[in-house]
């Protein structure tokens, strides 16, 4: 119940395409769903996050879609660029627990 | 404001040696975490702390120890290093249950 399942493991998209990364969870007590971006040789950094009271959140070219009934959320990158090539992690947490439950990560490559 | 700093950046250990990975944050965060990331894999929580003097085990604590004597510092101790501990180690901190801020990592190889 504590798991967050992330797919796909890797993804290759042409520049300008819209990569989509999906995550699913079981624990309905989760109330915060962030996405982290990690470039090679760097630590992960918060990209965008959503709470379950909204179905979508946009920040620039990045959008989280959230489906509470299906217990799924996804990251969409509009007009993807080679500079978006990185590993993306989804995660989940609840306010009463100070740990993030992490997905396994998706290695995204945007081809020029 | 340096954020989360980690030292060293790289280290090679021989089997059976010990070392301490240093982590410091200057954001006055109560919560601090140690993760390991194996090649092509996700993050696994080793230990975490909710404040000075309070630590708890994460998912993979065996072979490691931590201490938290101050809010700023959260060192990770490896005793009797083993090849299975070859990994990249990340320290993170947060002020709430939500956003975690990560350091640049320590790449450790045990031969």
Question: Residue B98's pLDDT is what?
Answer: 76
Nearest residue of chain B to residue A43 (CA atoms): B104
Question: For residue B34, what are the contacts with CB-CB under 8 A and spacing of at least 6?
Answer: B21, B23, B45, B46, B47, B48, B58, B64, B66, B74, B76, B89, B90, B91, B92
pLDDT of A15: 97
**Torsion over CA: B107, A101, B45, B68 (sign):** positive
Q: Is the dihedral of CA B27, B11, B42, A17 positive or negative?
A: positive
Q: What is the DSSP letter of A82?
A: G
| B63 in a structural domain | yes
B48, A107: Cβ pair inside 8 Å?
no
Please state which architecture CATH assigns to domain A4-111: Sandwich (2.60)
- CB of A19 within 8 Å of a chain B CB? The answer is no
B20: CATH:
2.60.40.10
**Domain extent at residue B24:** 4-104
Q: Where are the domains of chain A?
A: 4-111
Phi first, then psi: give them for residue B54, nearest 5 degrees: -125, 115
pLDDT of B40: 77
Q: Tell whether A103 lies on the interface with B, counting CB pairs under 8 A.
A: yes
β-bridge mates for residue A64, sequence order? A57, A75
Handedness of CA A14, A85, A54, A94 (dihedral sign): positive
Q: Which chain A residue shows the shortest CA-CA distance from B96?
A: A98
- Closest Cα in chain A, distance from residue B2 (Å): 14
Interface of A with B in 35-94 (CB under 8 A): 41-46, 49, 89, 93-94
- For residue A83, the model assigns a pLDDT of 97
Q: What is the pLDDT, as a whole number, of residue B1?
A: 74
Of A97, A105, A107, the CB nearest to B97: A97
pLDDT at A96: 67
Mean pLDDT for each 10-residue chunk of chain A (112 residues)? 88 97 94 94 94 94 96 97 97 81 95 96
- Under an 8 A CB cutoff, do A46 and B100 touch? yes
pLDDT of residue A1: 59
A89/B90 CB distance under 8 A: no
Write out chain B's pLDDT in tens, 111 residues. Answer: 789 999 999 999 999 999 999 999 999 999 999 999 998 788 999 999 999 999 999 989 999 999 999 999 999 999 899 999 999 999 999 987 678 999 999 999 999
What is the model's pLDDT at position A99? 84
Domain count, chain B: 1
Q: How many pairs of residues across A and B have Cβ atoms under 8 Å apart?
A: 52
Is residue B110 in a domain?
no
């Amino acid at each position: 119940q504590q798991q967050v399942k992330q797919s796909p493991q890797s993804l290759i998209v042409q520049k300008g395409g819209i990569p989509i990364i999906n995550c699913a969870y079981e624990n309905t007590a989760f109330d915060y769903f962030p996405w982290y971006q990690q470039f090679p040789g760097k630590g992960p950094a918060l990209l965008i996050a959503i709470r379950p009271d909204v179905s979508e959140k946009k920040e620039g070219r990045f959008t989280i879609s959230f489906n509470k009934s299906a217990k799924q959320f996804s990251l969409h990158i509009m007009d993807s660029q080679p500079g978006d090539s990185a590993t993306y992690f989804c995660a989940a947490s609840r306010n009463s627990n100070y740990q993030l439950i992490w997905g396994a990560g998706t290695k995204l490559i945007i081809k020029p | 404001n340096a954020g989360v700093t980690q030292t060293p950046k790289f280290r090679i250990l021989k089997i059976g040696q010990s070392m301490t990975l240093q982590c410091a944050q200057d954001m006055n965060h109560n919560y601090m975490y140690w993760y390991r990331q194996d090649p092509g894999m996700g993050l696994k929580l080793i230990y975490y702390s909710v404040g000075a003097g309070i630590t708890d085990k994460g998912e993979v604590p065996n072979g490691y120890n931590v201490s938290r004597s101050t809010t700023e510092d959260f060192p990770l101790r490896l005793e009797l290093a083993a090849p299975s501990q070859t990994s990249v180690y990340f320290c993170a901190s947060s002020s709430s249950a939500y956003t975690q801020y990560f350091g640049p990592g320590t790449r450790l190889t045990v031969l």
